[in-house]
Amino acid sequence: MIFRSRNTAALLALAALLTLILMSGLGYQLSRYAGEPVRSDVIIVLGGDDGLRVTTGGNLYAGGYAPHVLLTGIDKRYYTPGRPNWRERRMMDAGVPDSMIHIDTVSESSWDEAVNALERMENNNWQNALVISDPPHMLRLHNTWSKAFEGSSKRFVLVATAPEWWNPWLWWNNPTSSRFVISEVQKNLYYSLRYY
């Protein structure tokens, strides 16, 4: 009886350790495809932004990484050309000329953003893009953009923002990162079934 209790306790401890390793590794897996910015033709700031993506894009522009900025995820129902929305104004405040800011009002998903960005890159003869989003998005974006760009000569580098709430190894300690990770796990499963 004591032998079984020890075996059961050892198995439970092992299961708890494996769960902890998997849980902590999940944040790393979701964010590991973030790269370092390189000189490019366009900075693509993805939608769903609370301001940090735009700030990161503006900083990259100010650092001379690309002459053009493409803002995606702008709802066409609320967009009026010639009347800059808050994201455009933030870019202009960062020094981006209005003529270098391009708007995507047709994308409704991450897949749409990748496909439409590729088309925009082809139409403007842009070869390389920096794609800006938050760290937990990186795995899904890597898979999505890689699939959308398959067979194309165009290239992209994923650049992650640096939110205060993100720690890839302790993501469950923060309510924002916990929600993000759970949402991204679900979205990765959905995207793998639908697009890849």
| DSSP letters spanning the chain | -HHHHHHHHHHHHHHHHHHHHHHHHHHHHHHTT-------SEEEE-SS-SSHHHHHHHHHHHTTS-SEEEE----GGG-BTTB--HHHHHHHHTT--GGGEEE--S--SHHHHHHHHHHHHHHHT--EEEEEE-GGGHHHHHHHHHHHTTT-S-EEEEEE---TT--TTSGGGSHHHHHHHHHHHHHHHHHHHHT-
Residue 6, domain member (yes or no): no
Question: Residue 183 belongs to what domain range?
Answer: 33-162+175-194
- 18-50 per-position pLDDT tens digit: 555 556 689 999 999 999 999 999 999 999 888
Question: How much of the chain, in percent, has pLDDT values that exceed 90?
Answer: 80
Residue 55, domain member (yes or no): yes
Residue 87, domain member (yes or no): yes
Residue 70, domain member (yes or no): yes
Sequence-ordered list of residues with C-beta below 8 angstroms from that of 140, at least 6 positions apart, any chain: 30, 110, 184, 187, 188, 191
Whole-angstrom distance, CA of residue 171 vs CA of residue 20: 12
Residue 64, domain member (yes or no): yes
Residue 7, domain member (yes or no): no
* Listed residue (155, 162, 160) closest to 138, CA to CA: 160
CATH number of the CATH domain containing 139:
3.40.50.620
Residue 67, domain member (yes or no): yes
Among left, alpha and beta (phi > 0; psi -120 to 50; other), residue 10 is alpha
Residue 126, domain member (yes or no): yes
Question: How much of the chain, in percent, has pLDDT values that exceed 70?
Answer: 88
Longest dimension (CA), the chain: 78
Query: In this predicted structure, what is the pLDDT of residue 122?
Result: 98
- 134-181 per-position pLDDT tens digit: 999 999 999 999 999 999 999 999 999 999 999 999 998 999 999 999
Half-sphere exposure of 91 (CA within 13 A, CB side): 26
Count of structural domains within the chain: 1
